[in-house]
Structure 1
Amino acid sequence: METMPLKIFPRRKQGQTTRAPDVSLTYERVSSFFHMRLEDAAHELVRAMLIQYDKFFDLTQTLQGISLTALRSACRRLGIERWPYSRSGREAEEANITLEDNTVSIDTERGDGATEVNIAEGESHEDIEMEEQQNPDYEVHPRSPTASFVEWYVNIPLDSEEV
């Protein structure tokens, strides 16, 4: 692990007359951003440098942060092989809620009553309706039969009209 500070020299962005200030990184400085996503840390590193320079100079330029590649490379040289950020419990719950919101439930009518179909993201309710209209024999089999249904079905006589 390097104890000397590493310097990152951000390139001049298109449309800017000057480049962003150099960013000096140490393990301690980088480790203070471990609670953030890598993308957010890259942006905040330059923003923190801007605040430091703004005390001495009138800097009003908009900074876009250092690149993820530059930050990853600097982290490896500082002895950080992998960015240690992990989602907090609340963020993980929000991700699960978002995933659940992308699954849609649709009630379709079959001969034996209403059944529920889950549609994965990318396939809409209209797609199902169009397929049903184009193919009148289209059947939806959303789940395997329950134990009570199987028991009922097995116990029905072959000549019964219930089926």
Structure 2
Amino acid sequence: MRLLTGLHAPPRLIAHLRMVHDVAADLVAWAGERYPSLAVDAEAVLFGAATHDIGKALHPAELSGPGSEHERAGYALLRERGVEERLARFARTHASWEEPDIGLDDLLVSLADKVWKAKRVTGLEQRVVDVLAAASGAEKWQVFMDLDDVCGRLAAGADERLAFQSAYSVESTA
């Protein structure tokens, strides 16, 4: 939070990061319960969810419009402040879930960034299913059903999360 206030991040960005973090926490808990043998770095996922769009503090037009400049900028900003690569990478990878070297932790941040607002992305969810099934040995159809259930449950709270975020200004706190 100090990092965001130090950057004079717009309140809406702070609210967004909180919402994505909270959904990521639910996804991490779900993965731990359903697939306890998986190696999910909960600390990294939660940090990644809480900072994935931090570059929008430097590119505020991307808060309400398209753009990807915030990804590289956010990664650079975190690294310049001494955040280690394993944590800073999410600012760069959260929109790159189609890349072949993206792991489960990155996929969970990407998924949280979509499902918090009830956006369901078939390709992303299929990547999560494939990774979970391969790592756990579970049948893909069962993993699909499990993931569909949790995403549906999380998506059901999107209206409240969107209203929470919308209550905050896109103007910088500076």
* TM-score by shorter chain over 0.5: no
Which structure's CA Rg is the greater one? 1
Structure with bigger RCO (C-alpha 8 Å, 6+ apart): 2
| Higher percent of residues as strand | 1
What range describes the TM-score normalised by the shorter chain of this pair? under 0.3
* TM-score computed with the length of structure 1 as normaliser: 0.24
